[in-house]
Amino acid sequence: MTTRPASPTGSDAPASAGPTDDEYRLAFIRPARAPSDNTGTDWLMYSITRGSDAITGYRRGDIKSATAEVEKIVALLNERRLTKKR
């Protein structure tokens, strides 16, 4: 299982460098069985969280490229969240 830390692990990193409960973040991405009515063995399940809310999704492919794609989704969700506050 591959997980993504919620905040920087370096002790010298500023506290503000990590996401807050108001920000979306990639909680995990890991290999999974194919969703219903799908085939293949290269499926990954991911979870994007914001506070206590979670979005679960599936992607096909290798973990490196899927992680990069899901991180783009997270960035877009956070941009959208900031735009709506104005």
Domain assignment present for 55: yes
Domain assignment present for 62: yes
Q: How far apart are CA 52 and CA 38, in angstroms?
A: 29
Domain assignment present for 12: no
Domain assignment present for 8: no
Q: Which residue has the tokens 């492919």?
A: 61
Domain assignment present for 68: yes
Question: What pLDDT is stored for residue 82 in this prediction?
Answer: 83
Domain assignment present for 49: yes
List, for the chain, all residue ranges whose pLDDT scores fall below the cut of 50. 1-16
Domain assignment present for 7: no
Q: How many domains is the chain partitioned into structurally?
A: 1
Whether pTM > 0.75 for this model: the answer is no
Whole domain around residue 78: which residue ranges?
21-85
Domain assignment present for 5: no
Give φ, ψ of 40 to 5 degrees. 110, 160
Distances (CA, A) of 80 to 67, 76, 85: 20, 6, 9
Type of residue at 31: P
